[in-house]
Amino acid sequence: MLYEFRSRATGTVVMTADVAEPLLRAMGKEPTPSGIVTVAQLPDIIARLERARAQSSVEAPAKTDHPYTQASTHPNPHPNTHPSTQASTKALTHLDPEMPEPPVSFGARAWPLLDLLKAAHAAGRDVVWGV
């Protein structure tokens, strides 16, 4: 299921239910098939979502066991690199196309919706959503 967030002040933000529903809960809204955030509610909703983003970054431990976050231990992680630039590339991570992408954080997922809410607030417009 897709959620479509709209405001007359901005474009549309579309999210899948697994992304939108935690954001709606963080905003203090129930994940119903449709809803509204009125202009009067926007300052509180924006503050709630910003607090949730900040809290999620504090609670999310740094993942050092993910292959994308580990520095390469190979003596020359980039064999085609000229020796004069090897020192600057040793800190780069090894990227394997077979490995899954690292997970997207709550804060990164909240950013488009938060941007829409702030623009709607600045323009004095409500935000609605529907599925």
Q: Is this prediction's pTM over 0.75?
A: no
Q: Say if residue 120's pLDDT is above 90.
A: yes
Contact 121, 39 (CB under 8 A): yes
Angle between helices 106-123 and 42-59 (to 10 degrees): 160
- Domain boundary assignment for the chain: 1-60+104-131
**pLDDT recorded at residue 110:** 94
**pLDDT recorded at residue 94:** 58
Q: Say if residue 21's pLDDT is above 70.
A: yes
Comparing CA positions, the residue from 94, 44, 91 lying closest to residue 67 is: 94
- Mean pLDDT (the chain, rounded): 80
Distance CA 69, CA 86 (A): 19
Distance CA 78, CA 114 (A): 39
**pLDDT recorded at residue 99:** 75
Please tell me which residue, 35 or 58, carries the higher pLDDT value.
Answer: 35
